[in-house]
Amino acid sequence: MKLTDKQKLRKRLKSFCGMMGDELNKLDADLVSRLTDTIHRLSTPTKVAIAGLSTSQHRAVGELFIGEQLFTSMEEAKSCPVIEVRFGKEAKTEAIFGDTVKSYPGLSISVALAGKKPSAVRIQLPYPIFADIDFTILPAYDGDDNRAGYLVNLLDNTEVIVWCSDATNQWAPQERRLWFTVPDTLKERSVLALTNAELLTTDEAANALEQKLEFVAGEFHTSAKVNVDQAKAAVRSGAVVDNDEFASSGGQSLVKHVMALVQMGQVDLMIQAKALRAEIDTIPLGAPQEAPAVPLSEVMPIPAKATQPALQLSPEEQAKKSLLDGTKRCQTALKDCGPSNYTPVFEEMNELLASLSKVMDGDLKLTRDHALMETQVKEAAELIGLLSYENNENAANEAAEILRQIAMDIWLRLSTNSVASEQNPTEINKASASN
């Protein structure tokens, strides 16, 4: 399956960190912090929190987004702790007791709540939306007694908030006091879901709603009126089954607002990630050693003619032969490939790295930095595999430069750092001259 742009950037940043090794700690602290944060955000779905007072139907709004009935009774809904909804290959319910997790097949909240009350419930569902979005449904908020604790759950890594509020009631003091403490940046990524919209049947109710919206103006990015029961009836198993009903219920508008805010956050994240990629592309990879200004073909000259290999090559000789033969094939492929298809180049590069990895996993042993070299080969393979999806000239040239640096580093280490070999680092030049 072809990687998404988000996955490509994540792999690129992770590969850079891996290939830098211990030298990563010597980079600017702000850069390392931004790398760590961006990789984490690229690695996790957007978190959407759904919350509200007990009169807000926020649990039912959660069921609307999930497309499943979670509770069998009002009592069960009221007693349920935080619900985390995540992606999973099969439907599963987990009751979380601190570090202990008990799993149950399917949607089994009733079973998860039986006996000792868990601190949280996690649901996994195989619906595509959960690959990009994690939903967290909070318990009802009805007072100031636990405002600090409630805010911890509401704001924890949250990127979008769906705050549910009864459309027929004024903005409650509890809502006002809680929302006052929500950061402005998060308010800008929040939707006010006005539930019980089907009860707005009189002019008096409509006027009261207008006053409420004026009162909370600027506290939310947008708002949407929704008939929750009608919207839920139009959704099954994570998919809309009745488009007309879903649109007329207001559910479609609510979902569109939430998805727009999710997309907005992803756009900002991608801009940051691309800027980081441009920044790290100027930093040399691997251990700190000055790269020769000469082409790889001059550092590791390709013999003018093939020589008869020894019957049994040492691990060091196998690695060097892989470097020489593989470099020649890569150079030939890069020279001969067409302007629109660089697949042969990437195939040769991957084959070279695979052969090196096989040798290093076998009998080859270096007196130092062996694990580092294994990591560099692995990270280079991942990074070049990533670039292969772009399949253009720029990607091929970038991959060639990565391979050049890795190959030169391995060659120098093989010449000076192996257990069996004490050959001079310039032996490759002498070998070439003798040919």
For residue range 184-195, list pLDDT tens digits in order: 989 999 999 999
CB neighbour class for 211 (10 Å; exposed up to 12, middle 13-18, buried from 19):
exposed
Claim to verify: residue 373 and residue 340 sit in the same structural domain: yes
**pLDDT over 70 percentage in the chain:** 83
Cα distances (angstroms) measured from residue 127 to each of 58, 130, 133, 236:
21, 6, 11, 11
Give me the domain span that covers residue 318. 296-434
Q: Residue 428: inside a domain, yes or no?
A: yes
Confidence of residue 367 (pLDDT cuts 50, 70, 90): low
Residue 302 has pLDDT above 60, yes or no: no
When pLDDT is averaged across residues 283-310 and rounded to a whole number, the result is 46
For the chain, how many helices (H) and strands (E)?
19, 11
When pLDDT is averaged across residues 84-93 and rounded to a whole number, the result is 92
Confidence of residue 62 (pLDDT cuts 50, 70, 90): very high
Residue 196 has pLDDT above 80, yes or no: yes
State the Cα angle at 126 between 120 and 132, rounded to 5°.
80
Claim to verify: residue 261 and residue 311 sit in the same structural domain: no
User: Dihedral angle at the C-alpha atoms of 195, 213, 168, 73, nearest 10 degrees?
Assistant: 30
Higher pLDDT, 375 or 32: 32
Claim to verify: residue 347 and residue 223 sit in the same structural domain: no
Q: Residue 25: inside a domain, yes or no?
A: no
Claim to verify: residue 257 and residue 308 sit in the same structural domain: no
Residue 295 has pLDDT above 50, yes or no: no
Q: Residue 287: inside a domain, yes or no?
A: no
DSSP letters for 171-233: --HHHHHHHHTS-HHHHTTEEEEEE-GGG--SHHHHHHHHHHHHHTTTTSSEEEE--HHHHHH
Higher pLDDT, 359 or 63: 63
Higher pLDDT, 234 or 22: 234
pTM of the shown model: 0.64
Claim to verify: residue 312 and residue 240 sit in the same structural domain: no
Residue 421 has pLDDT above 60, yes or no: no
pLDDT of residue 2: 44
| Tens-digit pLDDT profile for residues 26-51 | 888 888 888 888 888 888 888 999 99
Q: Residue 191: inside a domain, yes or no?
A: yes
Q: Residue 103: inside a domain, yes or no?
A: yes
Report the domain count for the chain: 2
Residue 258 token pair: 């939430």
pLDDT of residue 28: 83
Q: Which of 10-19, 196-205, 368-377 has the lowest mean pLDDT?
A: 368-377
Do the beta carbons of residue 165 and residue 196 sit within 8 Å?
no
| Tens-digit pLDDT profile for residues 385-408 | 767 766 677 777 777 877 777 777
Claim to verify: residue 147 and residue 261 sit in the same structural domain: yes
Q: How many CB atoms lie within 10 A of CB 115?
A: 9
Q: Residue 363: inside a domain, yes or no?
A: yes
CA–CA distance, 211 with 206 (Å, rounded to integer): 9
**pLDDT over 90 percentage in the chain:** 30
Claim to verify: residue 95 and residue 219 sit in the same structural domain: yes
Q: Which of 137-151, 172-186, 318-332 has the lowest mean pLDDT?
A: 318-332
Q: Residue 26: inside a domain, yes or no?
A: no
Claim to verify: residue 302 and residue 264 sit in the same structural domain: no
Mean pLDDT of the chain: 80
Residue 374 token pair: 């294994």
Higher pLDDT, 380 or 418: 380
Residue 194 token pair: 């006005």
pLDDT of residue 175: 92
When pLDDT is averaged across residues 13-38 and rounded to a whole number, the result is 82
When pLDDT is averaged across residues 220-240 and rounded to a whole number, the result is 91
Supply the CATH number for residue 360's domain.
1.20.120
Domain boundary among 242, 273, 304: 273
When pLDDT is averaged across residues 83-88 and rounded to a whole number, the result is 92
Highest mean pLDDT: which of 254-258, 315-319, 414-418? 254-258
Claim to verify: residue 131 and residue 175 sit in the same structural domain: yes
Claim to verify: residue 204 and residue 123 sit in the same structural domain: yes
Claim to verify: residue 346 and residue 243 sit in the same structural domain: no
Q: Residue 10: inside a domain, yes or no?
A: no
Claim to verify: residue 213 and residue 69 sit in the same structural domain: yes
Higher pLDDT, 419 or 215: 215
Residue 292 has pLDDT above 70, yes or no: no
